[in-house]
Structure 1
Amino acid sequence: MYKQIFKTALVAATLALAACGKGGAEGASAADNEPVRISVGSYNLNNLPFFIADANGYFDQVGLKVQTENFAQGGSKVLQALVANSTDVAVGFYDHTIQMQAKRKDVVGFVLLSRNSGLVLAGREDGTFDPAKPETIKGQKVGITAPGSSSDFFVRHFLAQHDIPVDSIALIGVGSGAAAVAALEQGKIDLLVNYDPAATLITERKVGRIIIDARSDEGARQVYGGLYPTSVMYANRSFLEKRPEAAEKIARAQQMALRFIADNSAEDIVAVLPDAYVSGDRKTYAHAVENARAIFTTDGHFTPADLETPLKVLREFNKDVANTDIDLSRTFTNTFVERASAASTPAQP
């Protein structure tokens, strides 16, 4: 089944690229000189490869002009911007492509940055929630990055697994990073679902404790039943068809960033980031990078079998997804990362 999904995706992407090529190389070349608007939803570490590519000037190195914007309000805001065509490319979570297919919107992931969730559920030391007794979550104020985000889905998945109504808790958008940790510390929320660096900040500052941890492969399988791909570069299919060269350049820049993360220490990785990207002090942030290192891909490729996990999770509580025949092969393509890989591989003598 997974091989068929993968094959179908490659065929679809190849046909799309061939179609756009017939329109005239001159038009594509002219369009490729235009800046690409890239928006990112938060400073969570799942998006680190994008921050590295931006900070190290990799987009310039591959010959692509970009205009970046950080909404700092969660991935759902970035998704809205993409659908409204106020941005060209989003740094968001893969599960949004599934949601959009259910709404008949053709949104496609073309670089996978984070192969796993990276999410944790944390609470204060004096908290009363015990995952061994799921009903103890009732009445709790649960902080998430934003409504409609993957942290939101995490909570809804837990509730669905235990037949607990969503209205038995209060879901509160608190953003990510230090702001999210402050909400827990100040008692504005009882529980927090978030990513690193928030997860590491909570433990290092002794604000609370990690109750459920899906950062590791084992933890993700316990929470979701499988790996849960998260951060991707995604765009409307129309953009990928109109500007395939730009998409390939983005893939090349992100592969450079992923190699940088794999080849360098956490301290060296943090050293290249501007202060705006760093939550808390750099030493603590470096610990967060090390804790999150396992979630990153090595080259941006999607593994089709892993994409079944977010689809299964969304079907538990998203009626649109549950009632739609989702074709996963249309939610992603490996075409551009494969072209980028081929371009960076030295020719054999």
Structure 2
Amino acid sequence: MYKQFFMAALCAVGLAAAGCSKPDAGAAGGSARGGDNAPVRISVGSYNLNNLPFFIADAKGYFKDVGLEVKTENFAQGGSKVLQALVANSTDVAVGFYDHTIQMQAKGKDVVAFVLLSRNSGLVMAGREDATFDPARPQTIKGQKVGITAPGSSSDFFVRHFLAQHDIPVDSISLIGVGSGAAAVAALEQGKIDLLVNYDPAATLITERKVGKIILDARSDDGARQVYGGLYPTSVMYANQSFLDKRPEAAEKIARAEQMALKFIADNSAEDIVAALPDSYVSGDRATYARAVENARAIFTTDGHFTAADLETPLKVLREFNTDVAKANIDLSRTYTNAFVERAHAAAPAAQR
């Protein structure tokens, strides 16, 4: 179960991950051009397009441009694996989903998001053309094998939210971790799963290759409101509060590099965006991947800022099935900070804003 999965990660934290107070703008340190040049370990959980701003920042050398040495690791097994790495102190910064910060606060841990990359879910539920599940008849999901990126991931939450909304027990379906991208599409195509909850590029690959059809679509704002009741912020840069307290200049440099990447995404065609990526970041052929980028373009922020009202949606969803979150008095203001993106924006040359 979800709760047991996260207990393993939390046991690794020990006393070392005890939280500190949230930084205000003054605590965010000096300019991003300043003196913290020690390497930063950044881990990412998947190749889904929600994380595209990180891939662009890495591929375009923006971290180096702001004076930061970054060591990256891609687990390619879902954001929950990256969360485990963060709480075990085997990475400094995670590229993962915002809702993990809420879960950690419910466990008494201060994990803080400091750059918002994707302002909306980007998730879809797909099935083969002969799929028997019809969302207009929710009970038809019973008995289905549903592919998700990994247990405890936001794709897992998507499914659990749907079940909770319709009073369907979780044990009436089978949840199967299949990863993301081409591997996830292959699981659907080969009949290993009946339904797939995943992101672009998987969503576009499914339709382009005629593997199946999109059944529920939360890529657009209207789609997210239909599925969740509001926008569902997803991909963020997050870290333990202790890292942000000890290395505020590094956090500001990361924020600046991501703002450069977000501007590049906003200012360029999907084809040019894909051309900037190495093959290791591209699922399928580049033409199809470019169409996936175009389909997902609306989910990205322009400057990395969080909107407080939108953060209520993940909290509402988690409270439906996560007993720890449901029982906790969650203070959303402690799950994120705009301090670093604001300072990075102020320090940037006017032409780059």
1:59 paired residue among 60, 63, 74: 63
Residue 198 of structure 2: which of 194, 198, 209 is its match?
194
Deviation at residue 17 of structure 1 after TM alignment = 1.5
Alignment map for 1:24-103 (pairs within 5 Å): 32-103=36-107
Partner of 2:136: 132
Partner of 2:314: 310
Matching of residues 168-317 of structure 1 within 5 Å: 168-317=172-321
**Residue equivalent to 1:336:** 340
When the two chains are superposed, the root-mean-square deviation of aligned CA atoms in Å is 1.4
Q: 1:146 aligns with which of 143, 147, 150?
A: 150
Residue of structure 1 in register with 2:17 after alignment: none
- Cα contact 1:16–1:241 (8 A) shared by 2: no
Aligned to 1:17: 27
User: 1:13: Cα distance to partner?
Assistant: 2.1
Deviations 1:214-235 (A, max 9, x none): 0000000000000000000000
Secondary structure at the aligned position of 1:199 is classed as helix
For 2:37 and 2:63, locate their aligned partners in 1 and report how far apart those are by CA, in whole Å: 13
Q: Aligned partners of 1:173, 1:12: CA distance in 2, in Å? A: 34
Alignment-derived partner of residue 107 in structure 1: 111
Aligned partner of residue 300 in structure 1, secondary structure: coil
Q: Which whole-Å deviations, capped at 9, do the CAs of 1:78-114 have from their partners, x for residues lacking one?
A: 0000000000000000000000000111000000000
CA distance in 2 between counterparts of 1:204 and 1:15 reads 46
Query: Could you list the per-position Cα deviations for residues 94-151 of structure 1 after superposition, in whole angstroms to 9, with x for gaps in the alignment?
Result: 0000000001110000000000000000000011000000000000000000000000
Looking at structure 1, the residues matched to 81 and 63 of structure 2 have their Cα atoms a distance apart, in angstroms, of 24
Runs of 4+ displaced beyond 2 Å: none
Q: d(CA) in 1 for partners of 2:319 and 2:23? A: 26
Match in the other structure for 1:7: none
- Give the structure-1-normalised TM-score: 0.92
Q: Give, as a single letter, the amino acid of the residue that structure 2 aligns with 1:52.
A: I
Shift of 1:34: 1.3
Distance in 2, matches of 1:45 and 1:114, equals: 9
Contact between 2:43 and 2:74, CA under 8 Å: does it hold in 1? Answer: yes
* Structure 2 residues without counterparts, runs of 5 or longer: 1-20
Percent identity between matched residues is: 86
**Matched-pair contact (CA < 8 Å) for 1:204–1:284:** yes
State the SS of the aligned residue for 2:223.
helix
1:346 Cα deviation (Å)?
A: 3.8
The 2-side partners of 1:96 and 1:16 are apart by: 26
Residues 213 and 219 in structure 1, CA contact (< 8 A), matched pair in contact too? yes
Structure 1 residue ranges without an equivalent (≥5): 1-10
**Which amino acid in 1 is paired with 2:105?**
Q
